[in-house]
Amino acid sequence: MNFKTITNQMNFWGVMTLVCLFLAKPQQSKAQGDLMAMADSANVFAIPFGYTQIGETGYVGFRLQPELAFGKIGVGLDIPIMFSTKDGSFRAEEFQDGLGGVLRMIQYFRYGRKRRDPFYIKVGVLRRSYLGFGGLLNNYTNSPSFERRKVGFEFDISPGNRFFGVEGLYSDINGLNLLAVRPYVRPFVNSLAPIINTFEIGVGVVHDRSQQALPVASTTTPLPITIPTTSADSTTDLRDTRYVNNGMTGLNVDAGITLLNIPFIKVDAYTQYAFLLKNNSDSLKKDLDAIASVAGNEAVKEYGTGSGFSAGVRARLNFIANIFAMEARLEYQNYSKFFRPQFFDAAYEINKDAGILALATDTTATNGIYGTLSGHLLNKIKITGGLQLPFEISKTNPALLFIQGDATGLIPKVVLSGTYVKGNLFTLQDALVLDDRSLANVRAAYQLYSWLTLGVDFRWTFAKVTNDTFDPPIERVEATRYVMPYVGINIPLFSNKSAN
């Protein structure tokens, strides 16, 4: 069955996913969303076992998912044990790549909380990561493929009186990959003035020189012209890193201040200015010349460094006894040609070269907005949503949508959670279609007992699938569904109160 057929069949799942978009359990919350922070870990040993469908292939087995929390320390593992229903073979895809495959079993290890503790570090899968106020890198994930999770790390160190600090991340310890670093200072932190002492200024650098990418078969393209591929990949339209392996770099200067901080209300304001330096890949230059001759667009030959400016406010409300809390962020963005705000985002790792090519053919300056809204009610319903929306959406200026939440506990014994991200949106109607620009995760379950749960996990992710219409069968990574009805055993190791 080809990818287009699978995608058409998944339209129903797309609608169901969007219905469940208030259901999410994020791995990590941003500083902008600390008010709505959900725990990275719990003290439990979970073993969901049952039937799993990945693409059109069935598997039976279980996943070992212990999670431990000791104060500021959290550890989570995810070890799959699955066998094919066709021939009984063990599914080893998640263990491949030597030491990197073994380390992939570490879902996360963290110490502290970003922007809360003087020392914070997290190792493993990175989700909703950001740098500074998010001008260049925001809502970033290093693992668009669930089964080919990467092991990266992020940190935030601000010792002593927190006059000086440095934050950053590295996307994948396996070779040369994305590196982001931002030193920052709070020059008036010792001042008695209540507003001035919150002033912070930082300088960020993001540099990517990845040598590897997911070999993903694509049905979408960010341009009217097919993305050029190497001759070896031309039959499957595999992704490559011909542009980014020469280096993709962004620079950012930002500053922020707390305007109001009283019980129940906090208001911050910030501004930032960023550059995306010209990518000097010879392959990119040749492809731009080819596009110019085919499309008759000589403007793409002007490709160079782009820049952007943004300013925004963030407001947090927290009512008595934490009955209701809400956080809103609104940001105005103004940027030149060859620039895209939050270029390193949730969709960046899916197809880096396509993003660079779209950027290089963006010959118009434009404006846009970025907004997020988060909230919880009695800690029973938690929701976070965001939209980056250019005033004029196009294939070179796409939108990005993300929604996540958690309604576990709203109905006794019912577990409801999920996430949804859609990048490179050319029209807002595309948000209802699951394709190779989408990432989704939905869980629905019922607790029969405190230690036994029945449920189903649905993921729209990148996984290795086999096309049996060819002889021999062709294996490749595609955006596809990952469905697992399961019976889960959850064994509390000790109480959270004891752990804390």
> How far, rounded to the nearest angstrom, does the alpha carbon of residue 291 sit from its chain's CA centroid?
30
Q: What single-letter DSSP state applies at residue 216?
A: B
User: Quick one: which H or E segment has residue 6?
Assistant: helix 3-9
Bridge partners of 243, per DSSP, are: none
Phi, psi torsion values for 4, nearest 5 degrees: -65, -40
* pLDDT reported for residue 469: 53
CA distances from 11 to 18, 206, 434, 444 (A): 11, 36, 7, 19
Tally of CB atoms within 10 A around 396: 22
* pLDDT reported for residue 333: 93
Spatial contact of 344 and 356, defined as CB atoms under 8 Å apart: no
User: DSSP letter string over 106-146?
Assistant: EEEEEES-TTTSSEEEEEE---SB-STTSSSB-SB-S-SSS
> How far, rounded to the nearest angstrom, does the alpha carbon of residue 476 sit from its chain's CA centroid?
22
* pLDDT reported for residue 49: 80
Amino acid at 44: V
pLDDT digit string (tens) for the chain, length 500 residues: 333 333 333 343 343 333 333 333 333 333 333 333 344 556 677 788 888 777 677 888 888 888 888 878 888 888 888 888 888 888 877 777 656 667 778 888 999 988 889 999 999 889 889 999 999 999 898 887 766 778 899 999 998 888 999 999 999 888 788 999 999 999 998 888 788 999 999 999 999 988 765 555 444 444 434 444 443 433 334 456 778 888 899 999 999 999 998 878 889 999 999 999 999 888 888 888 877 776 556 666 788 899 999 999 999 888 766 677 888 999 999 999 899 999 998 888 877 888 888 888 887 888 899 999 888 887 778 888 888 888 888 777 788 888 888 888 788 888 888 888 888 888 777 787 887 788 888 889 888 887 788 888 888 877 666 555 545 555 566 667 778 888 877 766 654 443 43
Peptide bond between residue 472 and the one before it cis (omega within 30 degrees of 0)? yes
* pLDDT reported for residue 15: 33
* pLDDT reported for residue 224: 37
Residue 130, token pair as written in the block: 């950001």
* pLDDT reported for residue 335: 92
pTM for the whole thing?
0.75
* pLDDT reported for residue 377: 80
Spatial contact of 39 and 496, defined as CB atoms under 8 Å apart: no
